Amino acid sequence: MESMEALVYTFLLVSTLGIIFFAIFFREPPKVPTKKN
């Protein structure tokens, strides 16, 4: 069964992109004004 490998690779890819996204997001906050509740 290759479904397990596909799941692992997908999880690693998503987690890596998530870490990079958060790193950039916290390093350079968006200049677009956001609503703060």
Q: What is the pLDDT of residues 1-37, one digit of tens each?
A: 678 999 999 999 999 999 999 888 888 766 766 677 6
The whole-angstrom separation of Cα 26 and Cα 2 is 36
Q: What's the pTM?
A: 0.52
C-alpha pair distances (Å), 6 with each of 1, 20, 28, 30, 31 = 10, 21, 33, 33, 37
Report the amino acid identity of residue 6: A
